[in-house]
């Protein structure tokens, strides 16, 4: 039978419908998914063996939960995905503000309507997507916003005294009856407002302007919080934290491979960009190394964290930098370059909180430092160590390149060099192509590896590098010293 054809309380009773709590509903659907080996939180990567099992245990225990972790750790996304564990539709008393169950009405409106109309009471069906209420905790949130208040306009229009509970205007929490209620950044909520949640979590009471209502609200509470908030902006009052049965710790991706998978999934790259710009695998790794190094950097506040959004934004900016260059030069296709990384600086500077040492370096300086570290790590992972190679002079693959620069030659790479100009400049360097072909046979990637070798040698101080506005200049390091002396004179 199509449940949506059930329009009255009498029809609902005949259908055999049995009410159950929202937590029991979520638990039953989770049990079914686990038994069927279905993925519960599809798209949540890196939490399969840590966070997700904790959440599943909390759901099986029918707990309210607190997701605790630094920014950009998918806390809110997980909370929103819990709606997938709700039944597709549930019946409610038509016209009810708080999703009254026709078999177990709570509000005065629903009780009076059922008393008046009996089995003819109209019933409507609510989809699970409408059973999700989310609120960002801010210092200006009031008890009236969350719980409710007396509505003088309602009292006047219905000609009711303030002592009548029908004059109450319900807040977000009662309206989340039989639903999932998510309160983000809980510590930002003023302590006196947090107190208003005590009885709802424990006893199910509602206290509004002198009204003491026995209102056993049926809600799955999910709170999110950032540990940084406990010291910088506020804290969760102890009695409230005691009433939240499960506290679940989230974390950043533990490996570069997991981080790459998340970035690939989340970065919005248009089909048009994807058809023009080719991104080498090593470049995707390099972007993740920037984030990993930032979380360990002495210049960045580790308590604040570095969101996964930094890598996502960086990939988008990287592709856009390459696309812009191709559009300017009329190139139909291009491969990302190391020099394109300077286009991701805006993605870094806005995503990190600097400590004193970082403020001294400046946001731009810190971003360039992180990029150079990532280039050096990628170079070391691909190419042999220049220092060790120099000790075996007869097998040193870098010797022709070093000699080329030592002969007074320079390499000037412009951010907006055309594909033809860029390749021609790299092809001039003796021994560079012979070095790179050992690591790829893809003609679209060979010049990436050639450029990586140049940047890596510069990071190893084997050759010199200067950045001047939109140009990177590579030369013999001794030549740079003499140039600096001439500039000083």
Instruction: Give the chain's count of helices (H) and strands (E).
Output: 25, 16
Helices 256-266 and 281-296: crossing angle, nearest 10°? 110
Distances (CA, A) of 323 to 279, 342, 375, 416, 429: 11, 14, 21, 10, 26
Burial of 476 (0-12, 13-18, 19+ CB in 10 A): buried
**DSSP-assigned beta bridge partners for residue 126:** 90
Task: Note the pLDDT tens digit of each residue in 413-469.
Answer: 998 999 999 999 999 999 999 999 988 888 889 999 999 999 999 998 889 998 887
What are the residue ranges in the chain where pLDDT is below 70? Answer: 1, 162-163, 204-205, 209-213, 229-234, 389-394, 479-489
What is the pLDDT at residue 485? 45
Strands (DSSP E) contained in 94-217 are 123-127, 132-136, 148-150, 168-170, 179-184, 205-208, 211-214
Question: Global pTM?
Answer: 0.86
What is the pLDDT at residue 392? 59
CA 267 remoteness from chain centre:
11
Q: Which two tokens stand for residue 62?
A: 């029918």
| Residue-range domain boundaries for the chain | 3-249, 253-382, 384-489
Q: Report which DSSP code applies to 67.
A: E
Element spanning 464, H or E: strand 464-468
Burial of 275 (0-12, 13-18, 19+ CB in 10 A): exposed
What is the pLDDT at residue 489? 47
- Per the rule left: phi > 0, alpha: psi between -120 and 50, beta: everything else, 183 is beta
Separation between Cα atoms, residue 288 and residue 269, nearest integer Å: 17
> Which residue, 172, 171, 170, 176, is CA-closest to 220?
176
Secondary structure (DSSP) of 90-120:
EEEETT-SS--BTTB--SHHHHHHHHHHGGG
CB 93 within 8 A of CB 86: no
Strands (DSSP E) contained in 305-418 are 334-335, 411-414
Q: Which two tokens stand for residue 336?
A: 């990302």
Domain 253-382, CATH = 1.10.8.80
> Which residue, 249, 199, 203, is CA-closest to 224?
249
Domain 3-249, CATH = 3.40.50.300
Distances (CA, A) of 265 to 42, 224, 311: 12, 23, 11
> Which residue, 157, 154, 181, 159, is CA-closest to 169?
154
SS3 content of the chain, % helix, strand, coil (to 5): 50, 15, 35
> Do the domains spanning 3-249 and 253-382 agree at the CATH topology level?
no
Phi first, then psi: what are they for 150, rounded to 5°? Answer: -75, 135
Separation between Cα atoms, residue 373 and residue 100, nearest integer Å: 59
What is the pLDDT at residue 393? 56
């Amino acid at each position: 039978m199509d449940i949506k054809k059930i329009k009255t309380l009498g029809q609902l009773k005949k259908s055999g419908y049995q009410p159950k709590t929202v937590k029991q509903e979520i638990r039953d659907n989770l049990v079914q998914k686990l038994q069927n080996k279905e993925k519960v939180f599809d798209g949540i990567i890196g939490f399969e063996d840590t966070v997700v099992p904790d959440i599943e245990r909390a759901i099986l225990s029918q707990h309210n939960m607190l997701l605790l972790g630094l920014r950009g750790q998918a806390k809110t996304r997980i909370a929103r995905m819990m709606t997938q564990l709700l039944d597709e539709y549930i019946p409610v008393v038509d016209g009810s503000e708080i999703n009254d169950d026709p078999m177990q009405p709570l509000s005065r409106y629903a009780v009076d309507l059922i008393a008046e109309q009996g089995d003819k009471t109209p019933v409507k069906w609510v989809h699970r997507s409408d059973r999700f209420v989310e609120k960002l905790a801010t210092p200006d949130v009031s008890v009236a916003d969350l719980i409710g208040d007396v509505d003088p306009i309602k009292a006047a229009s219905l000609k009711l005294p303030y002592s009548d509970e029908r004059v109450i205007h319900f807040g977000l929490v009662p309206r989340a009856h039989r639903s999932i209620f998510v309160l983000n950044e809980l510590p930002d909520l003023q302590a006196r407002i947090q107190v208003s949640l005590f009885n709802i979590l424990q006893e199910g009471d509602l206290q509004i302007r002198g009204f003491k209502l026995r209102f056993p609200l049926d809600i799955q509470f999910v709170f999110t919080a950032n540990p940084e908030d406990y010291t910088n902006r506020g804290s969760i009052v102890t009695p409230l934290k005691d009433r939240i049965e499960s506290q679940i710790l989230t974390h950043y991706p533990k490996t570069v491979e997991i981080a790459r998978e998340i970035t690939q999934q989340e970065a919005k790259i248009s089909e048009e960009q994807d058809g023009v710009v080719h991104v080498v695998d090593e470049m995707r790794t390099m972007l993740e190394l920037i984030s990993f190094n930032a979380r360990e950097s002495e210049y960045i506040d580790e308590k604040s964290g570095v969101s996964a959004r930094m890598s996502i934004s960086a990939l988008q900016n990287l592709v856009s930098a390459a696309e812009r260059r191709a559009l300017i030069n009329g190139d139909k296709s291009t491969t990302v370059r190391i020099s394109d990384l300077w286009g991701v600086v805006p993605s870094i500077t806005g995503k990190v909180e600097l400590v004193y040492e970082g403020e001294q370096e400046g946001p731009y300086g810190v971003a360039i430092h992180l990029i150079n570290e990532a280039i050096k790590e990628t170079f070391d992972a691909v190419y042999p160590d220049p220092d060790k190679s120099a000790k075996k002079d007869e097998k040193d693959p870098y010797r022709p390149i070093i000699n080329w620069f030592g002969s007074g030659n320079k390499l000037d790479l412009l951010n907006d060099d055309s594909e033809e100009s860029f390749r021609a400049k790299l092809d001039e360097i003796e021994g560079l192509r012979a070095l790179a072909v050992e690591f790829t046979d893809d003609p679209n990637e060979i010049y990436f590896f050639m450029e990586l070798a140049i940047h890596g040698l510069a990071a190893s101080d084997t050759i010199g590098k200067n950045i001047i506005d939109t140009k990177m200049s590579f030369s013999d390091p001794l030549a740079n010293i003499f140039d600096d002396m001439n500039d000083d004179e």
